[in-house]
Structure formats: structure tokens, C-alpha cells
Amino acid sequence: MDLIIPSEGLLFWTTIVFVILLVLLRKFAWKPILGAVQTREGNIQKALDSAKDAEERMNALTAQNEDLLKQAREERNVILREAKAAGESMVAEAKESAQKDADRILVSANEQIANERMKAVVELKNQVGKLSLEIAEKILKSELDDKAKQESLVNHLVEDVNLN
Amino acid sequence: MMLYVKNISRIITVALFALLSLLPSNASATIVEGTVNSSKELNNFITHHVKDAHSWHIWGENKTQVNADGTVNVLSSTAIHIGLPVILIDNGLITANSDDFNELRWIEQDGDTTYYAQGKINETEYIMFHEKIYHLGSGLKLDEKGHPTNSRPLDFSLTQNVMSMLLSVVILMLLFLPAAKKYKKKGIVSAPTGRQNFLEIFVVFVRDEIAKPNIGEKKYARYMPYLLTIFFFIWLNNLLGLVPFFPGASNVSGNIAFTAVLAVITYLVTQFSGNKDYWKHILLPPVPKALYPIMIPVEIIGTLTKPFALTIRLFANITAGHIVVLAFMGIIFSAKNIGWAGLSVPMGLFISVLELLVAFLQAFIFTMLSALFIGTAVEEHSHH
């Protein structure tokens, strides 16, 4: 029965001891500890938040970089394509002008050849005419050396002239 | 400030040791339980051990011889104990030492020889019977149930339990003040180390598992110092009670006075924290007005049963643990056969380990229920 009847002495001292303990621990232990724990938790939360922020910013940056890269790649492609086209057109132009030159040269060459040939032909004709004259002269000289022959020719020519 | 803290813990330590330097003495007259020879003596032995005491018995026993005139001769003694201050209020404040009860007597109670001590303090004769102090008057008289009919002075002695409790206060100070100082000195930039780390786990446990869920995010902070203090105070005293030798082995948290004080404080904190909704629920319960004469007393009794349950739960759990361990150990002596140790030691060990868990669990439950009661008192109801 004694066990379940509280004694006045222990009731009194427990109250005193507990209240003193509460006051002391509250002031010198719980306040600093809880304060520090809370501040640290706040700091950790802040650090986590800023890490998340940084990650987000990193992600944004990476995305931006990728965009830039993609754009650059596209630009490069465009430049390449343009360069290729320019090159091709230049080659084509060069070919064309070369062809033209060649044609022109061919034509003028032909003309020159024709001219030269004409000249040659004219020259030949002249030469042939001269030669013919000389031959005719020589023949005539030889023919007309002899009086009889001259007379026969004249006669012949006279005969041919038809006096109508 | 640091110096102040240091001084306080030093003062408490010095004060405690000053009290303890009333010094162990080879007791010639203090009652020391004798050998355990029967189950009845085992019963007395266990009851004695779970109760408070006016002197702190460390070890040993007396060999005595009883005389027909009620006096007792101590033939030899191996008993070592520490005499503790006795403080009585009996027409004024009376201080003495438990060793002042220096005359051993015996009386027949329930057919058994029961020892008690008699002593003269300030010209008045007192007797200490089963660790309770009575006026001697014209001698010790027992009623038919074996209880003394003598009158009692108010007894505010610094008993073994008070000393043990002070020891727990010193331990708590030595544990927490340096840890708190570390937080102050190193600030929050450094990671917690050593003891700080270990204590912080439990501080945060009380906050996150007990205070926040039961009281609520908004209001828990005000009650944290109280909840932390009862948690660590109960837990440490539970653990000290499990240490089987000096300066442990007191049954502080298994003493109903100790648990009652803490429960009453929780009750008072709850009532003083009660908001409008809480009091409305008690004084204007949501029932027809005709039922008020029944319901209001029921509601008020309802608030009183909570601290009562807190008191009994902690007291019964801790005391029961002590009784079971002592009973297992006592079997060896009451059976007078060391062979029983083969059963007693493993079972006692098992119960002791279980008690380690119970020590924490009961501290947790007491704190948790305190938080729960406070929580119901401060809870805001949006509708009612």
C-alpha cells in the first residue's frame, strides 16, 4: 500500500528539482540547441534551394547553348550550301566563257583560213593568167614569126568575122 | 555568460557532493535488510528495494540478535551506507541525519520480526518504521493491519530518491550545457560533433515526432522546453534505476510521487494553455442543456483522468520492471540453491534488456501523451 501513496517529501522535492531543471535547461540548453538546429536547418534549406536554382539556371544555360549550337550548325550548312552553289556557278560560267572563246577562235580561224584560201586562189588565178599571157605571148611570138602563118591567122580571123 | 553556466554546474556538483559527504559509514544501527530466507522475506526485500529510503544503502548486511525487551543487538555488520539529511516539519523546521536514528528495535508484525529504528532529534524521540518517520510518543503501536497508529511529522527529507534525482540533474547539466556551449561557440557553421550529434538526434526526435505532430507547426515551439525536459528527465531516471549498484538502483521514476508531480505539471500546462474552444467543449458541451448537470462533471473528470493515467502508467511500468528483475534474482536466495542462477541470470538479463527499451518507451509515451493533451487544448476548431 505504501507504494501507491505518494510521500509529501518526494512530491515537494520533485517539484522543486523539476522546476529548477526546467528553468536551467530551458535557458542554457534548449534555447541555444533548438535555435542552432533551426538556423542550420534554415541554412540547409537555403543551400538546397540555391542548388536547385543553380541547377535550373544550368539547365537553361545548357538549353541556350544547344540552341546556339544548333543555330550555328544551320548557319554553317547554309554557308556551305551557298559556297557550293557559288563554286558550281563559277565553274559553269568559266566553262561557258571558255566554250565561247573556243567557238570565237574557231570561227575566226575558219574565216582566216577561208580568206587565206581566197587570197591563194586569187594569187593562183593571177599567176595562171600571167603565165597564160606569157605562154600566149610566147606562142604568138613563135607563131607570128613566120609570115605565112600570120597571114593564115589573119585570114582565119577574117573568115570568122561574119559581116552580116 | 559561459562563466555563469560553468559556475552553475559547478555549484550544483559541489552542493551534491557536499550532501553526499555526509559520508558512507559502517552502520551499526540503521536497518539493513537481512538475508532472504523465505518467500515472505523475499517479498519484503523487493518491496524495500522499490521504495524510497532515508539513507543510501550501498552493500552489506547486519548480523543481529533480538532481545525480549524490544531492543536489538548488532553482533557484526558488513553494511556500508550513506546517511542522508532528514528534514522534518514538526512545530518548526527540524534537520538531522538519518544516522541519528541510531537505536535498533524490533516488533512483531504479521507474525514476523520487523526491525525499526529509534532516534532522538532535538529532544524529541522519533521512530523510523518501514522508511516512514513517526513520533515515538508512548511507544510504537500497530493496528490490526500492522500499520502504526502513531502520529507523523511532515517529512521533507532528502531521501535516496531525491539524491538520485539530483544526480540525474547533474548528469543532464553535464550532458547538455557543454553541448549547448559548443553550438554557441562554433555557431552553426560547423557540423555537430560527438555528444552534440547524439543529443541532437533525440532533441530533433522530440521536436519532429512528438511536438510537431501533436501540437501543430504553429504552436509547438512554446512547449518544446517542457517536453524536452520531461523526456530527458524521465528517460535518464529510468536508466539510472536500471543500474544495479550505487549510485544507481534507486527507483525514482517508479515512485508514484515523482510520476504524479510530472503528470500534475502536464495537467497544469494543458489547462493554462486551453483556448476558447477547449473550455467551450468542457463547460458548454455540444449536448442538450438538460444534460449539462451530467456532462460538465463528466468532462471535468475526463480531464483529470489523463494525469492520473500518466501517473499510474509510468509508475507501474518502471516499478514492475524492477520487481520482476529483483524477483528473478531473489529466487536464487529464497531457494538457497545457486543452480537457480541458471534460470535467474538469463531471465534477469532478458528483463533488464527489455527494461532498457521500456525506459525509452515510457519516457517517449509520457512526453507524447503530454504533447497530445496540450495539443487538444490549443487546437483551433474552425467549426463547432
- The interface predicted TM-score of the complex, written ipTM, equals 0.86
Q: What's the rounded Cα separation, in Å, for the pair B247 and B167?
A: 8
| Residues from A in contact with B at Cβ < 8 Å | 2-15, 17-18, 20-22, 24-26, 28-37, 39-40, 43
Query: Which are the contacts of A41, defined by CB distance < 8 A and separation ≥ 6?
Result: none
Mean pLDDT within B249-255: 90
pLDDT at position A1 over 70: no
The DSSP code for A20 is: H
What is the grid cell recorded at B46?
523487493
- From the list B50, B188, B221, the residue facing A3 with the nearest CB is B50
CA distance B75 to chain A (A): 30
Cα–Cα distances in angstroms (integers) from residue B153 to residues B53, B117, B135, B324, in the given order: 16, 16, 7, 33
The DSSP code for A30 is: I
pLDDT at position B28 over 60: no
Query: At which residue does the C-alpha cell 557536499 appear?
Result: B18
What is the grid cell recorded at B328?
528473478
- From the list B154, B166, B177, the residue facing A28 with the nearest CB is B177
- Put simply, the answer to whether B225 touches A25 (Cβ < 8 Å) is yes
Q: Which amino acid is at B21?
A: S
Query: At which residue does the C-alpha cell 591567122 appear?
Result: A153
Model pLDDT, residue B79: 84
| A107-124 per-position pLDDT tens digit | 999 999 999 999 999 998
The chain B residue lying nearest A36, using CA atoms, is B188
Q: Which of residues 60-89 of B touch A (CB under 8 A)?
A: 87
Model pLDDT, residue B361: 96
Model pLDDT, residue B194: 76
Q: In a mutagenesis test of the B interface, which of A2, A3, A39, A40 is the best target, namely the one with the most B β-carbons within 10 Å?
A: A3
SS (H, E, C) chain B: CHHHHHHHHHHHHHHHHHHHCCCEEECCCCCCCCCCCCHHHHHHHHHHHHCCCCEEEEECCEEEEECCCCEEEEEEECCEEEECEEEEECCCEEEEEHHHCCEEEEEEECCEEEEEEEEEECCEEEEEECCEEEECCCCCCECCCCCECCCCCEECCCCHHHHHHHHHHHHHHHHHHHHHHHHHHHCCCCCCCHHHHHHHHHHHHHHHHHHHHHHCCCCHHHHHHHHHHHHHHHHHHHHHHHCCCCCCCCCCCCCHHHHHHHHHHHHHHHHHHCCHHHHHHHHCCCCCHHHHHHHHHHHHHHHHHHHHHHHHHHHHHHHHHHHHHHHHHHHHHHCCCHHHHHHHHHHHHHHHHHHHHHHHHHHHHHHHHHHHHHHHHHCCCCCC
Burial profile B79-105: b = 16 or more Cβ within 10 angstroms, e = fewer? bbbbbbbbbbebeeebebbbbbbbebb
CA distance B163 to chain A (A): 10
Model pLDDT, residue A145: 77
Residues of A in contact with B258 (CB under 8 A): 10, 14
Q: What's the rounded Cα separation, in Å, for the pair A136 and A124?
A: 17
Q: What's the rounded Cα separation, in Å, for the pair B43 and B176?
A: 39
Mean pLDDT within A78-89: 95
| Pairing assessment for the beta strands B80-83 and B93-97 based on DSSP bridges | unpaired
Residues of B in contact with A34 (CB under 8 A): 203, 207, 221, 224
Cβ–Cβ < 8 Å for B39, B334: yes
Tell me the angle at which helices B256-273 and B220-242 cross, rounded to the nearest 10 degrees.
Answer: 170
- From the list A9, A33, A39, the residue facing B203 with the nearest CB is A33
pLDDT at position B30 over 60: no
pLDDT at position B231 over 90: yes
- Find the length of chain A: 164
- Put simply, the answer to whether A7 touches B257 (Cβ < 8 Å) is yes
The chain A residue lying nearest B256, using CA atoms, is A6
Residues of B in contact with A11 (CB under 8 A): 257, 260-261
Model pLDDT, residue B8: 52
- B64, β-bridge pairs: B74
Q: Which of residues 192-231 of B touch A (CB under 8 A)?
A: 199-200, 203-204, 207, 221, 224-226, 228-229
C-alpha dihedral, A45 to A47 to A49 to A51, nearest 10°: -150
CA distance A44 to chain B (A): 11
Long-range CB pairs of B40-48, under 8 A, 24+ apart, other chains included:
B40/B112, B41/B334, B42/B327, B42/B330, B42/B333, B42/B334, B44/B112, B45/B326, B45/B330, B46/B323, B46/B326, B46/B327, B46/B330, B47/A2, B47/A3, B48/B131
Q: Which of A100-109, A120-129, B138-147 has the lowest mean pLDDT?
A: B138-147
Give the H or E element holding residue A121.
helix A31-143
Q: Is B250 on the interface with A (CB under 8 A)?
A: no
Residue A58's CB is within 10 A of a number of other CB atoms, namely 10
pLDDT interval class at B26 (50, 70, 90): very low
The chain B residue lying nearest A23, using CA atoms, is B225
Percent of chain B with pLDDT over 70: 88
Model pLDDT, residue B27: 39
Instruction: Round to the nearest angstrom and report the end-to-end CA distance of chain A.
Output: 198
Mean pLDDT within B292-307: 92
CA distance B334 to chain A (A): 23
The chain A residue lying nearest B167, using CA atoms, is A17
Model pLDDT, residue B20: 44
Three-state DSSP at A7 gives coil
Q: What's the rounded Cα separation, in Å, for the pair B125 and B134?
A: 9
Mean pLDDT within A39-54: 92
- From the list A12, A22, A37, the residue facing B203 with the nearest CB is A37
Q: In a mutagenesis test of the B interface, which of A21, A31, A43 is the best target, namely the one with the most B β-carbons within 10 Å?
A: A21
Cβ–Cβ < 8 Å for A8, B156: yes
pLDDT top residue among A142 and B243: B243
Long-range CB pairs of B239-244, under 8 A, 24+ apart, other chains included:
B239/B356, B239/B359, B240/B164, B240/B167, B240/B168, B240/B171, B241/B318, B241/B322, B241/B359, B242/B321, B242/B352, B242/B355, B242/B356, B242/B359
Model pLDDT, residue A11: 94
Residues of B in contact with A6 (CB under 8 A): 255-257, 260
Mean pLDDT within B196-220: 92
pLDDT at position B267 over 90: yes
Query: Which are the contacts of A37, defined by CB distance < 8 A and separation ≥ 6?
Result: B200, B203, B204, B207
Model pLDDT, residue B239: 94
